[in-house]
Structure 1
Amino acid sequence: MGDIPSFDEYLSTLGRMSRHVDPTLPTAAAQVIHDATESLARLAEGGIEAEDGLLAGLDGDAGGGLHVAGLAAWAHAHPEWVPALGLTVGLSQERLKNSLRHEFDTPSWAALARTRPVALVEYLDRDFGLIRLLETQLGRTYTFSDILVARAGSRVAAISAGASGRRLEDEIEAIASDLGLSYGTRTRFSGRNRRTAPCDLVVPATGEAQIVVAAKGFDSTGSKLTDAVREIEEMADVRLPQQFVIAVIDGIGWKSGQADLRRIHALWESHQIDGMYSLNTLPVFRADLERAARLRDLL
């Protein structure tokens, strides 16, 4: 299986699970965002001029307007308003924090607005299309149906989160299929004393489980991280000595839930599970899965 990387080395392999959805599309997680604040509207009209010295050291044109320098000056002057930029591109406060932690190693939009406002705005524009979405939405007239769809945003986001979780499951299933393994998905396996534990993939599909895999991908935080750890701990607790137990974990939500992630990494370090992978290390997962299968005469 090779050397076990440190927790920080594993953490560095994690990436975003969910794909960003344009909130201006009819099927987006948040099609409609509430009217931008009066301040952003005035900025778009060029009615807000930078305060004396505000743009000192910032690249780009001075003054207001929907360009990087103008928005950077706006954020620098009012760090508490930065979440409005997140809402503009369809990011809740939690998703904004997790995205900033992933990009800048800090969830604090206020600190970034004070110290790195240009980098903050450039990131939101590059990865989420901030300026284009501001221009699109500031001039739009909103209807009652738009308001109802916006209120349903949390439900749409929950569906999107579920889809991102399935991405890991789909990836490991595709690898098992490509290797020609007999496998089952989203089931339970039997271990010591006929006790059972949940797993997202089991090999073979019928008979005694030889290889079991947990797939846990989250871009948001919350109790689901703790629940995922509990499931993997249960797998480690009931495993038989010959059973190969591994976890595939990804998503920037784990960066805000590092205590939970450390619990899983500790299981790996103590050899209670046999491997821990992310989307970035799936080639290693494939090689280890194939090796484990051959050792058990499954290939």
Structure 2
Amino acid sequence: MNYKHHFTTITVLISSICFSQKEIENRGHQVSSFQKAVDRLVLEKGISEKELHSLLKYNTRYEIEKRTGRAFAYAFGSLAGLGWFIEVSSRIPLRDGELRFFSEGDGLFVFGVAAATGAAISIPLFKASKRNKKRRDELSVKYKVEQHAIRNLYSKRRFRLYSVSYVIGITDTYYPIETSIVLVQKNLGISFTLDKNIISLYLSQSDGSSDVQDSEYTFSSFDLTYGRVFELGGKFSLEAHTGISKVTHNYRFGYPDPEENKGGGFGFNLSIFSSSVSRPKPRLKYENPIKKSYGIPLRAKLLFKINKLMGIGLNSNANFNKNGDVLSAGLSIQKYF
């Protein structure tokens, strides 16, 4: 039907607009205190956000490499110490009746492998961290950004729970099912934020039944998506998400079983006034094909924020997969944290 194609076009268009670079760079469309702190530091120091993020990049690399190098050094250093202890123990003379689990040389082998592995991993990490520290310090001096300012920025950068949402609505699909089936959609989602980014998990299910061929249909999907929030002014906002999903189409339908109904299937009904011939209702044989695949979900949520904790609005969703594209729309209730 044409409305399906119109719905898909509108959904894709909304998502494309929401992910445009111009909108992403708009400072009014933020969801975290980290980005606000970045904006304040950019204005205070008179540098560009790109330059500040370059400084933060080298600082992050330095911290990760330094801590990872130390972790491997401690771990394999402990193994090397254990190997040395094993070797010393294996050289102590045994008393009568004592058993020895390790022979001479076993401890040296453990010591050598642990020391060599630890050095092979830790030393390159320490060298890389030293290079990134030097580059970070050079940029800190150049842009006049002190270390306490960087630490203050990172104190505001955290992965946190953003919202929980529930959607109730209707679904249509290109999967070949009876047109008389009305599909009811239920969707439960949980979202987390890191800076401007929203990482979400959604569990959706749509099902319905029909008297035609005694049909039942269920569509379910588990979505992992990345999204952004765009403030539209006032209490309105738009969320746009896309990602990957695991989808399942399950269509159960019946059809007359030729083995059960062959031979004519006529019966006779006799009464006082007349006789009649009737055909019994054919017995049905059922098929239950289940199709599983991966899909690409697109979701756009237009929300009105009732207060700081609650929002309500319209959720539109499209899921493109090889077994049958799915379109849905419904009422979304969202709880903020």
Same fold (TM over 0.5): no
Q: Which has the higher contact order (CA 8 A, sep 6+)?
A: 1
TM-score, with length taken from structure 2:
0.26
TM-score, with length taken from structure 1:
0.28
Richer in strand (by share):
2
